[in-house]
Chains A and B, each alone.
Chain A
Amino acid sequence: MNDLYGEDLRERYYDWNLLKRVLFYLQPYRGLVLLSVTLLFGVSLLNLAGPYLTKIAIDDYIKVSNFAGLDRIAVLYVSALAGAFACQFLQTLVMQYVGQKAMFDLRTQVFSHLHRMSFGFFDRNPIGKLVTRAVNDVEVLNEMLTSGIVMVFNDLFTLAGIAAILIYLDWRLFLAVCATFPPLLLATAIFRTRARDAMRKYRAHVSAINSSLAENLSGMSAVQTFAREEENYRQFLDIHQKKLGEDLRALRYNSIYLPSIDVFSAMGIALVIWYGGGRFVQEEIQLGVLVAFLQYLQKFFDPVRDLAEKFNLMQSAMTSSERIFELLDTPEQLPNPENPRPISRARGKVEFKNVWFAYKGDDYVLKDVSFSVEAGESLAIVGATGSGKTTIVNLLCRFYDIQKGEIFLDGIPIASMNKYDLRRQIALVQQDVFLFSGNIMDNIRLGNVALGQQEVESIAQTAHSHQFINQLPCRYEQEVREKGSLLSLGQKQLLSFARALAFDPRVLALDEATSSVDTETERLVQDALAKLVRDRTSIIIAHRLSTLKNVDKVLVLRHGQVQEFGTRRQLLENKGIFYRLYNLQMSEDLGDIPEEKRIPLSDPLP
């Protein structure tokens, strides 16, 4: 499967299960689909009326010099044209409507499904891939639904209609024409397998070319700083030449096949002239029949050509649908319990009891972690990089499910709550602030549109954001641009505090920023933080010694295990790690003594 750049080359024309599943999305609109097919039937029929009317005109009126009859035919002809126009117009509208509606349903479903996935899923799947599922693959499927599947009916109707009329006009002549079908079918079969192969490889090469281009463009700095220009160009050219090769091969097949249909069509016509002409001479058929035969035969080969193209469309649509269904079949990873315990407003007591957790396999990140924070208390978590600090916060929000142990909020296991209710109690403030496109106002209140201008402003005032927001050209309506170069790092932090305040949580989970901001902003950040933790339970991943001064309890983590836990007073009495950290904070002297000497501590940790 990996031979052509991982592009999946399996064939999927005949995967009926897949097709059934796609058609399922048309189910709610089956009435309209039926209408559309009926209209198509009308279109095919009316489009076939022209040559038949010509036949009647020739045999019944022109040859017997009946002017009035000819006028009648003209009127019929116009009506047929107008009817075909109306049917076709309606059909296009109806089918597009159905297709768009079905797409709306499918795309909304994919989007909603993405929101049911856990962070574990997003850790594994690159964003670009998921965006392709929700946007491009759905688009390809739309094309198949609106112009692929239904239009196949059109081609089939037309083929069947022409065959029926020809048999009705003169079945013996039709049989003669049938002599051209076997070579036509043979040619089509030969062409199809080869062209399909060439097209598939071509497509695989095209996506390889595109990735190569995109990769070179995004990673141009790497390419240039390593002076790899020539080598990368050579690699690009290599794929590109293969692509051109397949492109030209597909062209060659098309160049042979499409004209060959015309030759077969001409063979049929020659047969009609020779055999039909003979029958006319023997007065077995009328001249009009011959002319109609000639005209119908010319129309007969269009749907044949069309059908070949539709197969290409089907192939890519099937691949897309399989990818979409693969995503939709990924089960929700953190399902809500069947009968969740209702919580409206928590008091805010948080407890971890013998919690074990691994992101993958049995590579435990947290081992037997227990601690508790009373409502309204504040807890600082300290530990080295990778000791599991952030994981604790993620687990509290139930972004991942734990393997062993239990987590409680107000004494209720969080696994027995509706996870949305749970998360509504907790505001998470992360180190790097993610700003959404939209204005400042929307970025503070997020979806909570119940908050008016005044309320948002007062929240911003509390979070020391009002001042800098007021200095922006459009104040609260200022659009935040991508990557948010509009705001400084410190301002973004303040904005994220405002966001948390607007959410008014019972529990605040905050990952203190490690990066340094200027002294004035730092003062504002500290002050806003103090207001933020007031009257609510707060869990702070501490990166500053000064933070330790202001919290009620401290949790020291080491390699995923609780090293020390307790109130500040208890821990100070313990004279453990916290005690030493606390002293460090107290002593202003941080001189240039190497740490190893300053802190006599390569010690007692088990």
Chain B
Amino acid sequence: MPAFRSTLSNKIKLFLPHALAYRREIAIGVAALLLTDLAGLAIPWFFKLAVDLLPQKPAPGVLLQYGGLLLSAAAVQGVCRFGWRQYLFGPARKIEFDILNRLMSHFLVLDKAYYQVQKVGDLMSRATNDLRAIRDFVGMGLLILVDSQVVILACLCLMVYLNPRLTLYCMVPLPAISLLFYRLSGSVGRKQQIVQAHLSKITSMVQENLAGIRVLHAFVQEENEKRKFAGLNGEYIQKNLELARLYGVFTPSLIFAIGIAGLMSLWIGGKSVIAGDMTLGSFVAFNGYLAMLSWPMMGIGYVFNLTQRGLSSMARLEEILLARPSVETAPDRETSPFRVEGGIAFRGLNFRYPDARDYCLRDVHFEIKKGSSAAIIGMIGAGKSSLVQLLPRIFESERGTVLIDGVPVQDIPLRELRRSIGYVDQEPFLFSASIRDNIVFGQLGAGEDEVRSVVGLAGLEPDLDRFPDGLDTMVGERGVSLSGGQKQRLALARALIKKPRILILDDAFSSLDAETEETVLDNIREYARGTTTIFIAHRLSAVRGVDRIFVLERGTVVEQGTHSELIRRDGYYRKIYKSQALARQMEIFMQ
């Protein structure tokens, strides 16, 4: 994949349409914001008028008028505030919604080659944290950008109008606020990342401890691990305290800088009032405008950081959105009708994983006849799973090397291809739903009869009787509440219910005891008559009866034949068959 340089125009192309979809709402929001600012600016001015009027002993009615004016300004402000909150933050949330939907549809298109490289945690963090940063950038960023510019400009004008000299003095500490905010919030951000990174170290340590708890307890490592954890935790505190020191300076210095401006206004402004250069009312109003300035001054520093974070988050989402799956179906072929019958052929197949150096399958050349059964055996890492995963195009093979019914898999509509292949692997992924939902996952809209029938085939019935809720028992996250064998049989039921033309059992019964395995195998043999069935198994007892056995070694077929043929040859099959003799005998003795 060519290195991709992310440019601003690219980001605009990707994300601007999302914002443009809400241009009307955003326009209303900006207008409301401007009105809010205008009403806000009026309030100190009313103060000024009221205070200046007071020494002339006005009638209560006049004062009531000022109170009324003030209230109506506040009312306008309130209504408009509602307006901009709704119409600036609202679209920001809707944009977040749209982008996440887009991400999700894109995730569903990306294939295993992509997910093998990416960590789920990282993708999750992009879909949540980065998306959040973009939402803040759109909502808060826009707000502050408009608000701070308008307010700063207007306040400055009014202050200059009230007292130019005083404005000059007060302006001394104010730019320092922006600078301070920008610099400090930048380093706070960096420190925060360091703290986050350390927290994920702690997370992985806990995770590893729990995953390896059996080893740790067996080797009495509790105290050592606690010591290590305390050390890691101690470092975490240190890093947090460094961050706290920054925070400790941060807020107080802002308040301090604003206070200095206030002092200037009180001290120098007070002298102006005494000197008669300024009315007391102007002095009060001046103070009011000065107070209004502090927030936009911080805002300018903040908006820089928001922008930085927003842009880098966009870049991180962009990486996902621009990733392309290696498995793609040409759209014209997608529409052509096709019905898979089940004949399989590998023709001079060479395969290596994307980004891998070495080929894991070399010159694989064999056929499995429609409706027959086959077994693929070999050591871990020989390429058995890789081979069968090319059939449903979980990984992409070179066109013309993997064929179904004589047609390259690439020319079969992907949906039809995958619907007609039932693939069950050793560690099936179950969804945190009921057993029924997990089964129906294979065939949406399957009836109760069908569910019952596959439950029976998969030998799940006795287990279901023991669950209080039967088919409606929740399996928990990834099926935690089920045993390994139950998970595997549930996965089998899920594959059987779609009545596949090709059934691939990739070490799918490794957690079943011999007795159950035998029952399930019998059921499958009966059910799968006419279905092309491929077994991958480590226990050879399971595969003796198949039509043809293929032995893979380092990606190549080294032996093939029936059980009787292979056992007579002095090869891998015979050797493994011997080494499994004890287990096999035990299973037989112990029935």
Contacts and interface: CB of A to CB of B under 8 A. Distances in A.
Contacts of B10: none
B418 A227 contact: yes
Contacts of A311: none
Contacts of B478: 126, 218
Interface stretch (A131-139, A167-175, A335-343, A452-460): A131-139
A499 to B, nearest CB: 8
Contacts of B567: 590-592
B117 interface: no
Nearest to B70: A270
Nearest to A605: B589
A50 interface: yes
B124 A225 contact: no
Contacts of A273: 47, 50, 63, 66-67, 70
Given A108-B226, A218-B429, A85 B253 contact: yes
B1 interface: no
Interface in A401-428: 420, 423-424, 426-428
B221 A447 contact: yes
A50 B218 contact: no
B477 A581 contact: no
Contacts of A213: 104, 107, 124, 127-128
Contact of A516 (B270, B498, B576): B576
A547 B581 CA distance: 12
Given A232-B108, A436-B212, A592-B568, A447 B576 contact: no
A85 B248 CA distance: 9
Nearest to A71: B267
B583 A267 contact: no
A217 B124 contact: yes
Given A259-B78, A503-B219, A81 B259 contact: yes
B27 interface: no
Contact of B47 (A70, A294, A499): A294
Interface stretch (B201-209, B450-458, B525-533): B201-209
Interface string A51-76: 00110011001100111001101100
B252 A84 contact: yes
Interface string B66-102: 1110110111011101100110011001100100110
B168 interface: no
Contact of B538 (A254, A515, A601): A515
A576 B267 CA distance: 107
Interface of A is mostly: helix
Residue of A226, A590, A601 most packed against chain B (CB within 10 A)? A226
Interface stretch (B176-184, B228-236, B347-355, B359-367): B228-236
A267 B71 contact: yes
A386 B68 CA distance: 85
Interface string A290-327: 11001100100000000000000000000000000000
Contacts of A236: 104
A543 B284 contact: no
A294 B249 contact: no
Nearest to A111: B229
B174 to A, nearest CB: 15
Nearest to A222: B429
B164 interface: no
Contacts of B568: 591-592
Contacts of A47: 255
Interface string B90-134: 100110010011001101111110010000100110011000000
Nearest to A499: B219
B67 A274 contact: yes
Given A220-B112, A278-B63, A545-B582, A226 B498 contact: yes
A256 B224 contact: no
B266 A382 contact: no
B253 A247 contact: no
Contacts of B587: 384-385
Contacts, number: 419
B108 A223 contact: yes
Contact of B280 (A61, A89, A287): A287
B57 interface: yes
Contacts of B585: 580-581, 584, 595, 599
Contacts of A103: 237
Contact of A50 (B222, B225, B259): B259
A68 to B, nearest CB: 11
B219 A61 contact: no
Interface string B183-224: 000000000000000010011101111111111111111111
A468 interface: no
Given A211-B432, A277-B50, A590-B567, A434 B214 contact: yes
B523 interface: no
Given A97-B241, A274-B64, A233 B214 contact: no
B161 interface: no
Contact of B441 (A73, A139, A226, A592): A226
Contact of A233 (B66, B104, B210, B221): B104
B60 A267 contact: no
Given A57-B266, A233-B104, A548-B582, A262 B78 contact: yes
Contacts of A384: 513-514, 586-587, 589-591
Contacts of B379: 515-518
B245 A93 contact: yes
A127 to B, nearest CB: 5
Contacts of A420: 220, 222
Nearest to A596: B588
Interface in B112-167: 112, 115, 120, 123-124, 127-128
A215 interface: yes
Interface in A577-606: 577, 580-581, 584-585, 590-592, 595-596, 599, 601-602, 605
B115 to A, nearest CB: 6
A129 B247 CA distance: 32
Contacts of A254: 85
A298 B380 contact: no
Nearest to B423: A225
A291 B51 contact: yes
A427 B50 contact: no
Interface stretch (A19-27, A112-120, A528-536): A112-120
B325 to A, nearest CB: 10
Interface string B559-590: 00001100110000010111101111111111
Contacts of B124: 210, 213-214, 217
A255 B220 contact: no
A140 to B, nearest CB: 12
Interface in A175-228: 209-211, 213-228
A364 B214 CA distance: 22
B260 interface: yes
A308 to B, nearest CB: 15
B562 to A, nearest CB: 9
A533 to B, nearest CB: 17
Contacts of A383: 586, 590
Given A446-B224, A447-B221, A590-B567, A262 B81 contact: yes
Contacts of A375: none
Nearest to A425: B220
A430 interface: yes
A134 B209 CA distance: 12
Contacts of A428: 214-215, 218-219
Given A62-B283, A78-B263, A236-B104, 8 more contacts: A115-B216, A218-B429, A218-B478, A259-B79, A266-B78, A281-B58, A434-B214, A558-B590
27 contacts: A66-B274, A70-B267, A73-B270, A77-B259, A78-B263, A92-B244, A104-B233, A108-B229, A122-B213, A213-B124, A214-B124, A220-B110, A227-B419, A259-B77, A262-B74, A277-B66, A278-B63, A287-B55, A383-B590, A423-B220, A434-B211, A489-B380, A516-B538, A544-B579, A584-B582, A592-B567, A592-B568
A-B pairs with lowest CB-CB distance, top 7: A266-B74, A447-B224, A96-B244, A259-B81, A255-B85, A270-B67, A219-B429
